[in-house]
Amino acid sequence: MRNLNKSITKVFSIFFILIFMVACEDAPPTDYIEDTYIEALLIVNEPIQGIKVFSTQPLGQPYIEESSLIKNAIVKITAEDEEPIVLSYSSEEPIGYFNENNDYFVEEKTKYYLEVTLPNGNIITGETTTPKSFNWIEEPKDTIYFPEDTLNYEDYEKFSVSWDQDDANENFLVSIKCLDTLNYGSYLLPPDLEDKNMRVPPYKEEYSNEMADYYYTNINNVDVDIKLFKWFGIYEVFVYTIDYNYLRWYFQFTGSAYHDSQYDSVEGAVGVFGSASVIRKNVFLKKPMILYQD
């Protein structure tokens, strides 16, 4: 969960500026109405953590996440037919509200309710039903070899991955995340600490410094193109099965610069209370030997 939430928080910082600006020609710059934003994702078989409550910030000041976080709300998560869990706030990663009971893990195919009481007494609610757990059918390879001819991609390598599919859920996010952009050699056998990481040639993209990318699919298998990798070295490949709440929010923040309330899944604020199941696998993209030659 922390990987997905961390990657999209940067996108939401832009949203805070665009969504809540009053676009009236005669309105003074101080004519600003603060709102509340919720970012909450439950991951099946993982602890409850990283649930964030924000206050929006006006255009006239720089966006600072630390300043926008609401740290003194009362946040409760309740599984159907169970007692509410009152969450605590943590300023350490993953930042946000979490369950102090480390033995409790989110259950599959279970309805959960969110209730947030703000310091001013306003109450925000939401509900989600968690997806079923699932597993790899065809896992990613442990090691991927970049083609020796870095100028000829006619024979560049792809690898296929597939997973179980629950008939009740056909919405998936596939992600690849670089885990270390610097220390390539430390993962070799034997380690070579002098061998530093480098970009995959010729990588060019607007978001070239983003550590992770996410892609939506509604089928349970994909071919992963080697051109999607931005650096050599170690990666984590994720597949998320997401609920309808998170599906709507994903299309909101990837498809539009403007907020549309129909994509919200909380009452009394802007934002999302969703859930997902996830599978992960580490892979290693090796440099071609030609890169070592003078």
Give per-residue pLDDT as tens, 106-121: 999 999 999 999 999 9
175: which residues sit within 8 A by CB, 6+ positions away? 3, 4, 7, 212, 213, 214, 215, 237, 238, 239, 240
What average pLDDT is seen over the chain? Answer: 85
At 165, is the pLDDT very low, low, confident or very high (cuts 50, 70, 90)?
Answer: confident
pLDDT confidence of residue 224? 85
Burial 141-177 (b: 16+ CB within 10 A, else e): beebebeeeeeeeeeeeebebebebeeebebbbbbbb
Which residue, 198, 120, 175, is CA-closest to 7?
175
pLDDT band at 206 (very low <50, low <70, confident <90, very high): confident
46/210: higher pLDDT: 46
**pLDDT digits over 48-96, tens only?**
999 999 998 877 778 788 889 999 999 999 999 999 999 999 999 899 9
What pLDDT does residue 291 have?
Answer: 56
Give CA–CA dist 181/197, Å, rounded: 6
Question: Quick check: pTM over 0.85?
Answer: no
Q: What is the pLDDT of residue 227?
A: 78
Q: 249-257 long-range contacts, Cβ below 8 Å, gap at least 24? A: 249/274, 250/173, 250/214, 250/216, 251/216, 253/8, 253/11, 253/12, 253/15, 254/11, 254/214, 257/14, 257/15, 257/18
Q: What is the pLDDT of residue 22?
A: 44
